[in-house]
Each structure stands twice: as structure tokens, then as C-alpha cells.
Amino acid sequence: MRDAVTSLIKNYDITGRYLDRDAMDTLKSYFQSGTARIAAAAVINANSPTIVRQAGLQLFEEVPELIRPGGNAYTTRRYSACLRDMDYYLRYASYALVAGDNNVLDERVLQGLRETYNSLCVPIGPTVRGIQIMKEMVKNMVAETGVSDTSFIDEPFDHMTREFSDISV
Ligand SMILES: CCC1=C(C)/C(=C/C2=NC(=C\c3[nH]c(/C=C4\NC(=O)[C@H](C)[C@H]4CC)c(C)c3CCC(=O)O)/C(CCC(=O)O)=C2C)NC1=O
């Protein structure tokens, strides 16, 4: 598992270089966004059950077939599995936000997931939509705490949906 700092150091160490100007710029921007990253993690921590539940409701409203007979989230067991997956995406997104690096998502969430989803016929489009709904909710909540630029919140959520979208084509 890597974060913004260890990733940078690793790259410089491989080639035996001192940290140059580019490195300083990268580090500066990471540390300058530090307080906002912590604010985002705090918002997610304080609201995760609400975010997952509301995002699930919105998703099932937009794609009602999912919870009808024959839908992948139909039956209590699969409905819960779906919300549990949403909860995984949210929790790991909060880790990646603090780390300033998506590596934790690759290692802990996305590895082998496409095969699992394909074999269980979990539909990709609605999964992507669910992740995007959570992203918008988190961005709004973080903006309400006074963080003016919430664009950094896109990174982990968009990383996950990009990985998913790669499969669906
Ligand atoms: C921390 C990393 C991690 C992830 C990401 C993870 C995902 C994951 N989701 C699964 C199932 C599932 N995932 C879903 C999800 C959905 N169905 C829908 O229609 C919606 C679009 C969507 C919710 C948004 C469902 C319904 C199942 C159960 C499918 C089944 O058993 O038939 C399974 C199969 C095993 C199980 O049921 O637990 C895994 C491994 N597990 C992990 O350890």
C-alpha cells in the first residue's frame, strides 16, 4: 500500500535522484490539500451509514429493475450484499483520499473484482452509478463544511468507476 509521499520517494529512489523541483511541487500540493483531505475523511466517517443508505435508495429509484424479481439485488441477501459493496467503496475511498494515492484501491478493492462481478452477473453500469452518487453526496457534504475546492474528492471514486468501465466495453 502506498501514499503520495511513499510513491514519490519510490520513484526517485529507483533512479537514485535527489528530490527536485517537480518533487517539491508534488509534495507541496499534497500537504496543502492535507486539511481538506482530513475534512473529507471526517465527513465520510460521521455519515457513512446515511451515505450508503441514501445512495442505495437513489440507485434503486433510478434502476428499479435491480430489486425486482430477476434483478441482481433482488432478495434480502443480495440487497444487503449490494449495500455492503457500496460501503466497501466508500470506506476505501476515504483511505485513498487521506493517502492521496489510489494504490490502496488497486490492491484491496479492485483486484479480481471484475471476475467476481462477471461470474455473479452483478451489473457494472448501476455499480458505477452507485459510486458516482456517493461521490456527489460526499462532495456536497464536504463543501458544506467550508472546503471550497472539493475536486480532489473525484480521484478515488473516478478511479474505481474507470476500472469498472474498462470491463464493460
Ligand atoms: C473490500 C473489497 C471487496 C469487494 C469490493 C467485494 C465485492 C463482492 N461483491 C460480491 C457480491 C455481490 N455484489 C452485489 C452488488 C450489486 N448488485 C447490484 O445489482 C448492484 C448494482 C450492486 C450494488 C451497488 C451483489 C447483489 C452481490 C451478491 C451476488 C450473488 O451472490 O448473487 C462478492 C461475492 C461474494 C459475496 O457475496 O460476498 C464480492 C467479493 N468483496 C470484497 O471483499
Task: Kindly state whether residues 11 and 45 are assigned to the same domain.
Answer: no
The backbone region for 66, taken as left when phi is positive above 0, alpha when psi lies in -120 to 50, beta otherwise, is: alpha
Task: Kindly state whether residues 1 and 63 are assigned to the same domain.
Answer: no
Number of domains in the chain: 2
Ligand 1 center from residue 118 Cα (angstroms): 10
Q: Which domain holds residue 4?
A: 1-32
The response to whether 78 counts as a known ligand-binding position is no
Task: Kindly state whether residues 114 and 153 are assigned to the same domain.
Answer: yes
Would you say the CB of residue 99 lies under 6 angstroms from ligand 1? Answer: no
The response to whether 82 counts as a known ligand-binding position is yes
User: pTM score, two decimals?
Assistant: 0.96
Task: Kindly state whether residues 99 and 152 are assigned to the same domain.
Answer: yes
Query: What is the reported pLDDT for 165?
Result: 82
Task: Kindly state whether residues 96 and 24 are assigned to the same domain.
Answer: no
Question: Residue 143: is it exposed, middle or buried by C-beta count within 10 angstroms (0-12/13-18/19+)?
Answer: middle
Would you say the CB of residue 56 lies under 6 angstroms from ligand 1? Answer: no
Q: Which three cell numbers stand for residue 114?
A: 471484475
Task: Report the CATH number at residue 88.
Answer: 1.10.490.20
Task: Kindly state whether residues 140 and 67 are assigned to the same domain.
Answer: yes
List pLDDT tens digits, range 27-49: 999 999 999 999 999 999 999 99
Task: Kindly state whether residues 52 and 124 are assigned to the same domain.
Answer: yes
Task: Kindly state whether residues 54 and 79 are assigned to the same domain.
Answer: yes
List pLDDT tens digits, range 112-126: 998 999 999 999 999
Task: Kindly state whether residues 85 and 25 are assigned to the same domain.
Answer: no
